[in-house]
């Protein structure tokens, strides 16, 4: 029996050493066809040797029925929770990019015959063919208003805005799918806010979906001095999906539902009444009542169609979407006691601006979790670290929350004016572009800076971009 066992051990050892030798020779001298050269590196060869050594050790252990072995020599490396978080973050980010790369590639492949103007008599035919190729239950018509919107969004100026889609569109898509409405309506958020959760209109509409306070509260969004859930992209998208679905249930037409999102069902109803058009009438209802709608709404639906086209075909116009400024792979942890974002930032060494970007609903950077829990959004790679340092984070209460412990201090803070935000004029800047960037209007910029002529800007000039 001992001789048999010894022969078995020797046979296994010799076999594996031969394989190791062949493996080294094969990968060191002649890379296999179709295999990247990176697999022939010395590091890869050593890795393969180590792998074979591990298998050899394992076979010998099994042959001897050993009870005790060196754990370091015979145990595969185990990823730490922090490493797993990082791997998950990389996977989520790459998955998101691959998803949209595939999305754009499919459009291009499907429309390979219409990617050049030469295939058609004119540019209008090209645009029409591309719009028809976008499969959506929302009718995408074409006319001069839609063409103007297409050319507006298919410009490099909107590349950065569309980069935000890598972060915000998956959130919007999930909520729209859950609500049972077309995911293609996601591009309406580009028209509403430029995909900025902090966008604010002159009429006090706020957030990525530009909800007024009353409408936001109607759909269950919390709005007070410390929390404004209109700025939370997930909750706001959920509310927007509910509102759009309600409008569709009224009109049975997505273009009218989108129009009603902009101007309200009352004005759409008056336009229907004034035009004499019935919901039962065949045809394109929005365009049938176009002249009877408010001026802003007339441009609103074409802008949606132009944004939808641009999201699908920006590459055909030479527009490249850059990397978004925020982490793509994120998740939430529920917080059940008051927490200042600076407590997290200072402990986990995450930039406070990034943390504010991921948690825009906390207007004073405080999670007021006194009577209920609130979500804290973090990059995935920091989840384990947050849990590990939770006690250290909350131990900083007295440092960051002392001025908020007393209710009077909260009220005082609420009325304090934050530092005025300034913008330095650069070459190519216009008041219109600056207003869009900071979520205000041209008229407000002119008023705050006592500007009489919008064309009188000077390079290097500093102007206020907020009145707070």
- In degrees, rounded to 5, the angle at the alpha carbon of residue 80 between the alpha carbons of residues 78 and 82 is 155
Boundary of a domain, candidates 10, 45, 74: 74
What is the C-alpha radius of gyration for the chain, rounded to an integer number of angstroms? 30
Please say if the pLDDT value at position 457 is more than 50.
yes
341: CB partners within 8 A, 6+ apart: 352, 355, 356, 359, 362, 365, 366, 367
Is 361 designated active site?
no
- Of 83-87, 164-168, 301-305, 357-361, the poorest mean pLDDT is in 83-87
- Of 95-109, 144-158, 164-178, 367-381, the poorest mean pLDDT is in 95-109
The answer to whether position 160 is within a domain reads: yes
Rounded Cα–Cα distance for residues 266 and 264 (Å): 5
Domain encompassing residue 458 = 422-464
304 falls in which pLDDT band (50, 70, 90)? very high
Rounded Cα–Cα distance for residues 191 and 423 (Å): 24
**φ, ψ (nearest 5 deg) of residue 462:** -105, 130
pLDDT of 425: 83
Task: For residues 231 and 344, state if they share a domain.
Answer: no
Rounded Cα–Cα distance for residues 263 and 215 (Å): 13
**Residue that wins the pLDDT comparison between 37 and 69:** 69
Task: For residues 239 and 360, state if they share a domain.
Answer: no
The answer to whether position 39 is within a domain reads: yes
**Residue that wins the pLDDT comparison between 316 and 427:** 316
Boundary of a domain, candidates 21, 46, 74: 74
The answer to whether position 288 is within a domain reads: yes
The answer to whether position 277 is within a domain reads: yes
pLDDT of 424: 85
**pLDDT tens string 418-429:** 566 788 888 888
**Residue that wins the pLDDT comparison between 103 and 56:** 103
Boundary of a domain, candidates 287, 317, 347: 317
Q: Which of 192, 361, 381, 385 is catalytic?
A: 192
Task: For residues 383 and 443, state if they share a domain.
Answer: no
Task: For residues 257 and 301, state if they share a domain.
Answer: yes
The answer to whether position 103 is within a domain reads: no
Task: For residues 256 and 376, state if they share a domain.
Answer: no
**pLDDT tens string 109-127:** 554 444 444 444 578 888 9
Task: For residues 127 and 142, state if they share a domain.
Answer: yes
pLDDT of 21: 46
The answer to whether position 85 is within a domain reads: no
Task: For residues 156 and 272, state if they share a domain.
Answer: yes
Domain count for the chain: 4
399 falls in which pLDDT band (50, 70, 90)? confident
- Mean pLDDT for the stretch of residues 433-446: 80
Rounded Cα–Cα distance for residues 402 and 183 (Å): 45
**pLDDT tens string 154-207:** 989 889 888 999 899 999 999 999 999 999 999 999 999 999 999 998 888 999
**Residue that wins the pLDDT comparison between 88 and 214:** 214
DSSP 345-409: HHHHT--HHHHHHH-TTBTTSEE--SSS-EEEEEEGGGHHHHHHTHHHHHTTHHHHSGGGSSHHH
417 falls in which pLDDT band (50, 70, 90)? low
Please say if the pLDDT value at position 219 is more than 70.
yes
Task: For residues 455 and 375, state if they share a domain.
Answer: no
Please say if the pLDDT value at position 342 is more than 50.
yes
- Mean pLDDT for the stretch of residues 272-288: 81
Percent of the chain with pLDDT over 90: 42
Task: For residues 433 and 408, state if they share a domain.
Answer: no
- Mean pLDDT for the stretch of residues 372-399: 89
Task: For residues 14 and 43, state if they share a domain.
Answer: yes
Mean residue pLDDT across the chain:
78
The answer to whether position 139 is within a domain reads: yes
- Mean pLDDT for the stretch of residues 353-364: 94
**pLDDT tens string 48-101:** 445 544 544 554 445 454 444 444 444 445 566 666 666 666 666 666 666 666
Task: For residues 346 and 298, state if they share a domain.
Answer: no
Please say if the pLDDT value at position 216 is more than 80.
yes
The answer to whether position 322 is within a domain reads: no
Task: For residues 217 and 192, state if they share a domain.
Answer: yes
């Amino acid at each position: 029996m001992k001789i048999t066992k010894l022969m078995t051990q020797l046979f296994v050892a010799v076999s594996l050493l031969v394989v190791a030798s062949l493996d080294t020779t094969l990968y060191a001298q002649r890379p296999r066809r179709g295999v990247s050269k990176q697999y022939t590196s010395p590091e890869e060869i050593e890795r393969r040797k180590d792998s074979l050594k591990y298998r050899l050790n394992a076979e010998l252990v099994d042959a001897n029925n050993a009870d005790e072995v060196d754990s370091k020599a015979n145990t595969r490396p185990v990823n730490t929770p922090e490493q797993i978080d990082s791997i998950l973050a990389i996977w989520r980010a790459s998955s998101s990019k691959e998803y949209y790369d595939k999305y754009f590639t499919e459009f291009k492949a499907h429309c390979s015959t219409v990617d050049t103007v030469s295939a058609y008599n004119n540019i209008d035919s090209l645009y029409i063919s591309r719009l028809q190729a976008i499969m959506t239950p929302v009718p995408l018509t074409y006319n001069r208003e839609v063409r103007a919107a297409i050319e507006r969004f298919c410009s490099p100026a909107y590349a950065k805005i569309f980069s935000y889609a890598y972060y915000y569109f998956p959130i919007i898509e999930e909520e729209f799918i859950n609500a049972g409405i077309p995911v293609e309506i996601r591009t309406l958020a580009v028209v509403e806010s430029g995909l900025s959760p902090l966008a604010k209109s002159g009429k006090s509409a706020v957030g990525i979906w530009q909800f007024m306070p009353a409408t936001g509260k109607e759909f269950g969004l919390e709005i007070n001095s410390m929390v404004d859930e209109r700025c939370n992209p997930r909750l706001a998208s959920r509310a927007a999906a509910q509102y759009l679905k309600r409008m569709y249930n009224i009109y049975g037409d997505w273009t009218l539902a989108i129009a009603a999102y902009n101007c309200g069902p009352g004005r759409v109803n008056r336009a229907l009444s004034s035009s004499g058009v019935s919901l039962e009438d065949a045809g394109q209802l929005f365009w049938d009542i176009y002249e009877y709608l408010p001026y802003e709404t007339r441009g609103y639906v074409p802008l949606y169609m132009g944004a939808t086209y641009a999201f699908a075909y920006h590459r055909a116009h030479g527009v490249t979407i850059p990397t978004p400024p925020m982490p793509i792979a994120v998740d939430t942890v529920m917080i059940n006691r008051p927490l200042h974002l600076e407590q997290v930032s200072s402990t986990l060494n995450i930039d406070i601006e990034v943390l504010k970007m991921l948690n825009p609903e906390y207007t004073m950077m405080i999670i007021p979790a006194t009577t209920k829990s609130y979500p804290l959004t973090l990059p995935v790679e920091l989840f384990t670290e947050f849990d590990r340092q939770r006690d250290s984070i909350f131990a900083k209460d007295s440092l960051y929350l002392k001025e908020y412990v007393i209710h009077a201090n909260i009220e005082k803070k609420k009325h304090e004016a934050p530092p005025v935000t300034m913008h330095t004029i650069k070459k190519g800047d216009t008041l219109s572009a600056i207003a869009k960037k900071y979520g205000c209007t041209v008229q407000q910029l002119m008023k705050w800076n006592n500007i009489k002529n919008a064309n009188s800007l000077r390079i290097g000039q500093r102007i206020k971009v907020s009145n707070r």
